[in-house]
Amino acid sequence: MSDEHTNLRYRSPSTLIEKGNEQLLSLPTEASNESATDLFFQGQVKSPYVAAKFLRNLSRMVASRFHTPAAMLQKILIEADPIITSSQEALRFEGFSSCCSLYCRVDFTPESYSAINVSRGTTNVDFNHATRDALSRIRKNHSMSMAVGESAYTLISGSETLVEKKVKLPGRWLKGLTYVQIFQSLAHKKAELSRIQSAKLIRSIPRSNTKSVYYLEVSGSNARFTPMSRRPKCFVADLERLRLLEDLVPLIEKLTVYSDDSSNITVWQIDSKGMRFTLALSSNAWRGFSGEGLALQDLATETNLDTMEALFSFINHHEEFSAKQVSSFLNVTSIDTQSLLSKLAAQGLLGFDLNSHCYFNRVLPFNLEKLEKLNPRLASAKKLIEQDAVDIIEQSESSLRAEVRSNNLTYLIEGNEGDYRCTCPWYGKYRGYRGPCKHILAARLKAGFLS
C-alpha cells in the first residue's frame, strides 16, 4: 500500500455508546491531507442575488449597535464576525449585534444549493468591508459558490475569489447563545404575513419616537404597529432595530413573526428561495441577550459525567432534535433535560430552529470549567459558599429560609421552588426577571436544591 493511503488522520477515536434500547457508533472523519480534513462545505448557490443580500445584511446587523458606549467601538468592530455551521439539514450563518440586543441568522436549506461536499463543522470567520463589497457586487445573473472549513471561508463569484480567515469567537457571544436559544424555544407564532403585508408593515416603521413601546397587531389582512393594543399583544420595543429589514423587503416570500410573552422577545423570519433570514430582538436595546441569567439555576446543577457523555454522543448523531427526544434517550425528567441542554447552550453548542422547532448542534469544543467564567453570578455564589457566608435558617423538602453575608451586609432569602426572594438591591430591581441573584443561588446550592 502506498504512503498516501497509510497516513490517514482521525479527529477522535471511534466509540460505541449504549443508552436504553439505542446504540450509537461514533466514527470520526478521515482524510489523507489537511485540506480535506479542514473543509466541511462546498457548494454553488442557486439564487446568488438573494443569498448575497441575506449575507450582506447579516454582516451589517452584526456590525450594528443600539446601546453601546462609543469608547467600545474599536472592540466592537473586532467582534463583528459571524459563526458558520454546516450540517446535512442546513448551512447556517449567525451572529449578534455589538450590543447583543439583536441576533440574526441566515439558513441555507439543501434546496437552495448544489453541494459537492457537506459534512458537520463550525467556524467563526472575519466578515469585513471586503466581504460586504464583494457580496454587494453579485447580481441575479451572476454565479456564487462557497467553501467553508475550520480555518477559512471562501466566496467565488465569476472571476472574483475572496478568502476570509478564522477568528476568535467572542466570549460575550457565547453568553448570548446561551439565552437566545432558550427564548426562541419558548416563542410561539403570532403572525404569518404575505409579501405585500410584510412590505407595508416594515415600511410603516416610524422615523421618529421609535424608542417608545409598540405592539404588532394583525387583523384580517392588515398588520400594523400601534402604541396601544386591545388584542393579544406582541410587544416590540426600540422599533428602529426592525428597520434593518428594509433592504430585504423586495425578497420576501413570507414573513413569520414569533413572540414569547414572558420575556417580550420577538423573532422575525423571512423566507425566500429556500433560504431563511431570522432576526431576534431582545425586549429592549439596552437589554442584550448576553446579560440575561435565566439559565443560571440550570448551570448550577451538578452534572453526571456519564450522562453528559451519552448526551454528547446523542447530539453528534442527531443534527436536529427536540427536548423530548433527549429526555427519552437519557431517561431523565424534562427538568433535568433542560439543565443539560442549558449547559451545552452555555458553551455555544446548541442553537434553536423555530421552523422545525428543534435544536441544532454547533461543532465547538466543550469545557465545563468555562461555565463559571462566562457566568460570574454562578462563580460568585460558589465563592460565598467557600467563604462560609451562607446560613440555613429553615429548610423543608421544597421551601427555604437562609441568610447570606456579602460585602459586610446580611441578606435574607426565602421562598419555595420556582419563587425565591432576596432582600438585596439586585433582586429588588429585577424581581427574578433576569434569573436569580448570587445570594439565592448560593442558598439553594448550600441547601442541596441544585445538586
**Lowest mean per-residue pLDDT among 38-52, 202-216, 240-254, 362-376:** 362-376
pLDDT band at 25 (very low <50, low <70, confident <90, very high): very low
Which residue's C-alpha cell is 453575608? 405
Answer left, alpha or beta for residue 218, where phi above 0 means left and psi between -120 and 50 means alpha. beta
pLDDT averaged over every residue in the chain: 81
Taking the domain 1-290, which CATH number applies?
3.70.10.10
d(CA 294, CA 422): 16
**Lowest mean per-residue pLDDT among 5-19, 140-154, 219-233, 415-429:** 5-19
Distance from chain centroid for Cα 70: 25
**Does the structure show a pLDDT above 70 at 18?**
no
Q: Where are the domains of the chain?
A: 1-290, 296-371, 376-447
Distance from chain centroid for Cα 185: 11
**Does the structure show a pLDDT above 80 at 243?**
yes
pLDDT band at 41 (very low <50, low <70, confident <90, very high): very high
**Lowest mean per-residue pLDDT among 50-64, 106-120, 179-193, 226-240:** 226-240
Q: What is the 3-state secondary structure (H, E, C) of the chain?
A: CCHHHCCCEECCCCEEEEECCEEEEECCCEECCHHHHHEEEEEEECCHHHHHHHHHHHHHHHCCCCCCCHHHHHHHHHCCCCEEEECCCCEEEEEECCCCCEEEEEEECHHHEEEEEECCEEEEECCCHHHHHHHHCCCCCCCCEEEEECCEEEEEECCEEEEEEECCCCHHHHHHHHHHHHHHHHCEEEEEECHHHHHHHHHCCCCCCCCCCEEEEEECCEEEEECCCCCCCCEECCHHHHHHHHHHHHHCCEEEEEEECCCCEEEEEEEECCEEEEEEECCCCCCCHHHCCCCHHHHHCCCCHHHHHHHHHHHHHCCEECHHHHHHHHCCCHHHHHHHHHHHHCCCCEEEECCCCEEEECCCCCCCCHHHHHCHHHHHHHHHHHCCCEEEEEECCCEEEEEEEECCEEEEEEEECCEEEECCHHHHHHCCECECCHHHHHHHHHHCCCC
**From the candidate CATH numbers 3.30.300.10, 1.10.10.10, 2.40.10.10, 1.10.3720.10, the one assigned to the domain spanning 296-371:** 1.10.10.10
pLDDT band at 72 (very low <50, low <70, confident <90, very high): very low
**Does the structure show a pLDDT above 60 at 270?**
yes
**pLDDT value at residue 411:** 93
- Is the model's pTM score more than 0.85? no
Distances (CA, A) of 306 to 19, 104, 312, 345: 10, 34, 10, 18
**Whole-number percent of the chain with pLDDT over 90:** 40
Strand order in the sheet with 113-118: 113-118, 39-45, 145-149, 152-157, 160-165
